[in-house]
Amino acid sequence: MSTPVLSVRDLVVEIPTRRGVLRPVNQVSYDIHAGEILGVVGESGAGKSMTGNAVIGLLDRPARIVSGEVLLGGEPVHQLKGERLRKLRGRKMGMIFQDPLTSLNPLLTVGEQLTETITEHLDVGQSEARRRAIAALDEVGIPAASQRIGSYPHEFSGGMRQRVVIALALCAEPDLVIADEPTTALDVSVQAQIVALLKRLCREKGVAVMLVTHDMGVIAEAADRVAVMYAGRLAELGPVREVITNARHPYTAGLMASTPLASRGQKRLRQIPGAMPRLDNLPAGCAFHPRCDRAEAACRQDPPPSLSACDGRAACWFPLTDKTKATA
């Protein structure tokens, strides 16, 4: 197989605090290939956004990468700083944030923001940049792009603003796009439009997409593979159909079963007892064991092997297999 666009190897992010060192991202490894959408799911505080920010170099102090590496097209980028990192961001990696209103500059027209990004990263003049900006807006489905290019962000609706943000992330033709909850702030009908747009652009341009979300439905429809995170670690990684219909990690199985969709027709929803532990108070062994009905002595003592070390599917001492499912 060709070199993956993004390759994250044993990434560890630490935040030193007064109450000890927290590890919001712990031994995370995954690849994303060109034209592939990798979904990253998990509950709030699981480390999904922190992983995305670490990849694109947007970690706020005092959070920092302490070990592991981030390879973009085979080149290590996790140690880059300042000007070299800035040249890479936007050019090689684009980012789409959750709230489109706060990720656009309210004082510049969308045209100015697009042409600024294009002239900064690509070797083109002003008029060519403007032409490309219109093409980019046209591509994300903004009607009358040549007129709307002079509009300010507040003149667009929420869905249209998110389209502008996507155009902005893609205008310098990056290889990788990190989309952090891109549809969470939007209505269902607009969400469907944005998901369809992301899928189309990913396929047409061969961009690798890291789609961070907590919505299983969005993942099922858009992603090729999915990574499930729990308390900073990858719990499970695999093809989306496999992970959703045939989960190996008890946490993934519980998460899927507790969505109202999965328990259609049942009076009560399946629930996972308890809540995700706080990072400053992680239980010993597997972080999920206090909530897991399959936990045994080994789970309380040692953390399960990370994904890269075991079979590569579920980080669990006693993963669910077809056999255990049949008896359950």
Q: Is 260 in the site for other proteins (CB under 8 A)?
A: yes
| Number of H-type helices and E-type strands within the chain | 12, 10
Whose Cβ is closer to other proteins: residue 52's or residue 57's?
52
Cis before 62 (ω within 30): yes
Residue 191 sits in the site that holds other proteins (CB under 8 A): yes
Q: Please tell me the distance from the alpha carbon of residue 167 to that of residue 58, in angstroms, as a whole number.
A: 20
Q: Answer yes or no whether residue 226 interacts with other proteins by CB under 8 A.
A: no
Which stretch of DSSP H or E encloses residue 257? helix 250-257
Residue 105 · residue 161 · CB < 8 Å: no
Torsion of CA 279, 282, 285, 289, to 10 degrees: -100
Binder of other proteins out of 261, 281, 293, 328 (CB under 8 A) = 261
| 196 belongs to the binding site for other proteins (CB under 8 A) | yes
Q: How far is the CB of 249 from other proteins (least distance, A)?
A: 13
The helix-helix angle for 188-205 and 158-170 (nearest 10°) equals 20
For 146-157, b/e burial (b = at least 16 CB within 10 A) is: eebbebbbeebe
In this chain, which stretch among 3-11, 70-78, 256-264, 310-318 interacts with other proteins, using CB under 8 A? 256-264
Q: Which stretch binds other proteins (CB under 8 A): 57-65, 70-78, 171-179, 210-218?
A: 210-218
Calpha distance 316→114 (Å, rounded): 45
DSSP symbols for 20-51: EEEEEEEEEEEEE-TT-EEEEE--TTSSHHHH
Instruction: Select from 26-34, 47-55, 127-135, 191-199 the region that touches other proteins (CB under 8 A).
Output: 191-199
Residue linked to tokens 């009076």? 267
Does 102 sit near other proteins (CB under 8 A)? no
* Residue 260 to residue 55: CA distance in whole angstroms: 33
Give CA–CA dist 114/152, Å, rounded.
Answer: 12
Contact between 231 and other proteins by CB under 8 A: the answer reads no
Residues paired with 225 in a beta bridge = 38, 239
Write the binding mask 26 to 45 for other proteins: x where contact by CB under 8 A, - elsewhere.
-----------------xx-
State yes or no: residue 246 binds other proteins (CB under 8 A): no
Binding string, residues 144-173; x marks residues near other proteins by CB under 8 A: -------------x-xx-------------
Question: In terms of CB distance, is 172 or 240 closer to other proteins?
Answer: 240
Binding segment toward other proteins, per CB under 8 A, in 127-135, 204-212, 268-276, 279-287: 268-276
Site string for other proteins, 44-83 (x = CB under 8 A): x---------------------------------------
Interface residues with other proteins (CB under 8 A) are 43-44, 157, 159-160, 187-193, 195-197, 199, 214-218, 220-221, 224, 240-241, 244, 254-256, 258-264, 267-272, 275-276
